[in-house]
C-alpha cells in the first residue's frame, strides 16, 4: 500500500512539472544581457566558470603538470594519460621539470623583512640584555615567534656582542631556529621530496637506491653527527672530513659506556673511506670494531639493501688499519667472509716485520680460507719461523706444541687441496669460517721427526707446482660496486 501511494505521488508531481510553461525566450535573453553587463557572464559558461578556472584547474596542474585531469587540451573531452608515462605537452615532449615543481611546490623565497619588522627585531635583540629575567624571556619568545626572518640579525649580533650571557642566549636562539628549519626540511625529505641536504647526493650513491630506508639512515646520521654529511661533497677537502670524523669519534666515545652503537654510527665511522686518498684516524679503529661486532653490525649484515654498501666501505677501511688492531680486523673479517682478509694477510706477512705470532696466525688462517696459489711464495717465507703460537697442550698422546711454521704448512696444504691429516695433523680438518683452528695444528713435542716430515712434504709440493703464474689480484670490495 505504501509503495502504491508513493507511485501515485510521483506521477502527480510529474504531471504538475509537465504543466509548467517554459520561460519565454525574450526573458532569457534579457537575463543574459543583464548578467553580461554586470560582469557575471562567466557563470553561464561551464567551461570557463569560477570552478573551472579556480580549484579545478589548480588540482589538474598539481597531478598532471598543466592540462586538467580528465580533459584534453581544449577542455572538451576526456583524456587518458598512461600511468607509467609522464605527462606531455601539446608537442609531445615530457614536462618532467614542470611535474617536479608542481608536486613539490616552488622553493620558498628567502624571508623578507620590512623596515617595521627589522625595527622590532632590533628592539627585541636589545631586550635580550635587559636586567629583568622576564624581559629577556619575553624577548626570546617573541624572536622565536618571528622565526627565520630574525636569523640574520641574530647572527650579526652574536658576532659582535661582548657580553658572555647575551652571547649564550643569541647562540641558543640561532640553534633553535636552525633546528626548527631542519626539522621542517626533514619532514619534506622523508616525504620523498627533493630536499637538498649537503652530502645527500654523495651518500645516496654509496647507500644505493633512493628509498625510505636510505633516507631514514641519512636522517639518523644527520641528527647524530651533523657535521659529517656536510663534509662529504666532492668540493670539500680531506681536512674538512678529518675534522668531521674527529667530531664523530668524540660523540661516539662520549656515549660508548652507556649506549650501544647504532647503524647510523657504524656508517658514519667509515663513510669518508669512499675517497681513496682519505686516511682514517687511528683513534676510530676501536670504535669501528665495536660497531662491527655489535647488534647494529649484525642488523646491517642482514639488510639486503645496506649490507653491500657497508661491506664496500668496510673493505676500504680494512686496507688501512694499523698493526695494533690487525688480529681483531682479520678475525671479524673472516666472520663476515670479507675478501679483503686475503690482501691484509699478505701485506702483513710481507711488510710487517713486527707482527706477533698471534697476528701471523690470523693471517695464515685467512689465507687457508681464501688464499690462492699466488700466495704460496709469501707463505713459504714462514716455513722457518719457529716462534710458538700458543701454549703447549697436554694430551693422552703426550705434550703437543705448535709454531708459526706449522700453521704455514697447514695453510699451504689447504690451498693445495691436501688433507691436513696427510701432513701429520691428526684429527685436524679445514674450518669453514677460519680456515683451520690453531689448536688443531700441533705436533708431538717428543717426536720432532713428524714436523720434519711434514716440512719435507710441503716443500716437495711447492717445488712441483713451480713459481706463481701471476701476481695476486685485488678482489672486488663489494658485490656490484667494483673497486
For residues 258 and 360, state if they share a domain.
no
**Per-residue model confidence (pLDDT) at position 331:** 98
Mean pLDDT of all residues in 78-104:
37
For residues 295 and 386, state if they share a domain.
no
- C-alpha cell read off for 281: 684516524
Q: Where are the alpha helices (DSSP H) in 191-284?
A: 200-207, 212-224, 227-231, 238-255, 263-268
For residues 308 and 221, state if they share a domain.
yes
Cross-strand partners of 394: 399
Distance CA 47, CA 41 (A): 12
Closest CA to 480 of 337, 303, 308, 336: 308
Task: With respect to residue 227, please indicate whether it lies within any of the assigned structural domains.
Answer: yes
pLDDT digits (tens, 9 = 90+) for 226-249: 999 999 999 999 999 999 999 999
**Per-residue model confidence (pLDDT) at position 468:** 55
Mean pLDDT of all residues in 37-62:
37
Final residue belonging to a domain, choices 140, 165, 189: 189
Distance CA 126, CA 124 (A): 5
For residues 305 and 379, state if they share a domain.
no
Mean pLDDT of all residues in 400-416:
96
pTM of the model: 0.65
pLDDT digits (tens, 9 = 90+) for 170-186: 888 877 776 777 888 89
Assign residue 153 the CATH number of its domain: 1.25.10
Buried b (16+ CB within 10 A) or exposed e, 37-47: eeeeeeeeeee
Task: With respect to residue 85, please indicate whether it lies within any of the assigned structural domains.
Answer: no
For residues 356 and 459, state if they share a domain.
yes
**Per-residue model confidence (pLDDT) at position 102:** 32
Contacts 24+ apart (CB under 8 A), 275-283: 275/238, 275/241, 276/316, 277/238, 278/238, 278/241, 278/242, 279/238, 279/320, 280/245, 280/317, 280/320, 281/242, 281/245, 281/246, 281/249, 282/322, 282/324, 283/249
Which of these ranges, 73-82, 147-156, 416-425, has the smallest mean pLDDT? 73-82
Does 58 score more than 80 pLDDT?
no
Q: Where are the alpha helices (DSSP H) in 371-432?
A: 376-380, 404-416
Closest CA to 209 of 480, 400, 471: 480
- C-alpha cell read off for 472: 695476486
CB 381 within 8 A of CB 349: yes
For residues 301 and 247, state if they share a domain.
yes
For residues 243 and 364, state if they share a domain.
no
- C-alpha cell read off for 148: 627565520
Domain count, the chain: 3
Task: With respect to residue 212, please indicate whether it lies within any of the assigned structural domains.
Answer: yes
Q: What is the DSSP string of 261-306?
A: PPHHHHHHTTGGGGSTTPPPPGGGHHHHHHHHTSHHHHHHHH-TTT
pLDDT digits (tens, 9 = 90+) for 280-294: 999 999 999 999 999
Task: With respect to residue 27, please indicate whether it lies within any of the assigned structural domains.
Answer: no
Task: With respect to residue 389, please indicate whether it lies within any of the assigned structural domains.
Answer: yes
pLDDT digits (tens, 9 = 90+) for 370-397: 999 999 999 999 999 999 999 999 888 7
Q: What percent of the chain has pLDDT over 70?
A: 73
For residues 344 and 480, state if they share a domain.
yes
For residues 159 and 289, state if they share a domain.
no
Give the three-state DSSP class for 350: helix
For residues 268 and 211, state if they share a domain.
yes
pLDDT digits (tens, 9 = 90+) for 327-386: 999 999 999 999 999 999 999 999 999 999 999 999 999 999 999 999 999 999 999 999
Which of these ranges, 8-12, 124-128, 439-443, has the smallest mean pLDDT? 8-12
Task: With respect to residue 247, please indicate whether it lies within any of the assigned structural domains.
Answer: yes
Q: Which residue has the higher pLDDT, 146 or 41?
A: 146
Final residue belonging to a domain, choices 131, 163, 189: 189
**Per-residue model confidence (pLDDT) at position 428:** 94
For residues 441 and 474, state if they share a domain.
yes
Distance CA 301, CA 298 (A): 5
Query: Whole domain around residue 217: which residue ranges?
Result: 198-321
Residue 79: which residues within 8 A CB-CB, separation 6 or more? Answer: 67, 70, 71, 72, 73
Task: With respect to residue 468, please indicate whether it lies within any of the assigned structural domains.
Answer: yes
Q: Which residue has the higher pLDDT, 116 or 242?
A: 242
Length of the chain: 483
For residues 212 and 300, state if they share a domain.
yes
- C-alpha cell read off for 175: 640553534
Other beta carbons within 10 Å of 286: 16
Task: With respect to residue 138, please indicate whether it lies within any of the assigned structural domains.
Answer: yes
Final residue belonging to a domain, choices 321, 355, 372: 321
Amino acid at each position: 500500500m505504501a509503495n502504491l501511494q508513493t507511485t501515485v505521488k510521483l506521477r502527480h508531481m510529474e504531471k504538475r512539472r509537465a504543466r509548467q510553461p517554459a520561460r519565454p525566450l525574450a526573458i532569457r535573453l534579457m537575463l543574459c544581457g543583464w548578467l553580461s553587463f554586470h560582469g557575471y557572464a562567466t557563470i553561464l559558461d561551464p567551461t570557463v566558470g569560477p570552478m573551472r578556472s579556480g580549484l579545478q584547474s589548480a588540482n589538474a596542474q598539481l597531478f598532471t603538470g598543466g592540462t586538467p585531469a580528465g580533459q584534453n587540451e581544449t577542455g572538451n573531452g576526456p583524456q587518458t594519460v598512461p600511468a607509467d608515462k609522464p605527462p606531455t605537452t601539446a608537442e609531445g615532449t615530457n614536462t618532467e621539470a614542470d611535474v617536479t615543481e608542481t608536486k613539490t611546490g616552488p622553493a620558498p623565497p628567502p624571508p623578507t623583512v620590512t623596515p617595521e619588522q627589522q625595527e622590532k627585531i632590533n628592539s627585541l635583540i636589545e631586550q635580550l640584555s635587559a636586567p629583568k629575567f622576564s624581559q629577556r624571556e619575553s624577548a626570546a619568545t617573541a624572536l622565536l615567534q618571528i622565526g627565520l626572518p630574525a636569523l640574520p640579525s641574530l647572527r650579526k649580533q652574536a658576532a659582535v656582542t661582548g657580553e658572555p650571557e647575551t652571547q649564550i642566549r643569541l647562540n641558543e636562539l640561532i640553534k633553535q631556529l636552525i633546528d626548527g628549519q631542519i626539522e621542517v626540511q626533514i619532514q619534506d625529505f622523508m616525504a620523498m621530496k627533493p630536499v637538498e641536504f649537503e652530502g645527500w647526493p654523495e651518500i645516496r650513491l654509496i647507500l644505493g637506491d633512493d628509498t625510505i630506508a636510505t633516507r631514514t639512515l641519512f636522517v639518523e646520521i644527520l641528527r647524530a653527527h651533523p657535521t659529517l654529511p656536510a663534509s662529504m661533497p666532492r668540493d670539500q677537502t680531506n681536512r674538512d672530513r678529518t675534522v668531521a670524523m674527529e667530531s664523530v669519534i668524540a660523540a661516539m666515545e662520549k656515549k660508548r659506556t652507556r649506549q650501544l652503537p647504532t647503524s647510523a654510527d657504524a656508517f658514519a665511522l667509515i663513510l669518508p673511506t669512499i675517497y681513496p686518498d682519505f686516511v682514517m684516524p687511528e683513534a676510530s679503529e676501536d670504535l669501528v670494531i665495536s660497531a662491527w661486532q655489535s647488534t647494529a653490525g649484525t642488523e646491517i649484515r642482514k639488510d639486503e639493501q645496506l649490507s653491500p654498501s657497508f661491506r664496500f666501505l668496510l673493505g676500504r677501511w680494512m686496507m688501512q688499519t694499523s698493526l695494533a688492531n690487525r688480529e681483531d680486523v682479520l678475525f671479524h673479517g673472516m666472520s663476515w667472509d670479507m675478501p679483503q682478509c686475503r690482501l691484509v694477510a699478505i701485506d702483513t706477512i710481507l711488510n710487517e716485520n713486527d707482527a706477533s705470532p698471534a697476528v701471523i696466525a690470523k693471517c695464515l688462517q685467512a689465507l687457508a680460507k681464501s688464499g690462492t696459489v699466488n700466495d704460496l711464495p709469501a707463505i713459504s717465507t714462514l716455513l722457518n719461523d719457529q716462534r710458538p703460537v700458543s701454549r703447549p697442550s697436554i694430551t693422552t698422546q703426550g705434550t703437543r706444541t705448535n709454531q708459526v711454521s706449522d700453521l704455514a704448512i697447514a695453510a699451504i696444504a689447504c690451498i693445495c687441496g691436501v688433507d691436513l691429516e696427510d701432513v701429520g695433523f691428526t684429527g685436524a680438518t679445514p674450518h669453514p669460517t677460519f680456515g683451520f683452528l690453531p689448536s688443531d695444528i700441533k705436533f708431538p713435542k717428543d717426536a720432532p721427526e713428524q714436523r720434519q716430515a711434514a716440512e719435507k712434504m710441503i716443500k716437495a709440493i711447492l717445488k712441483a707446482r713451480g713459481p706463481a703464474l701471476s701476481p695476486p689480484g685485488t678482489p672486488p670490495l663489494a658485490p656490484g660496486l667494483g673497486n
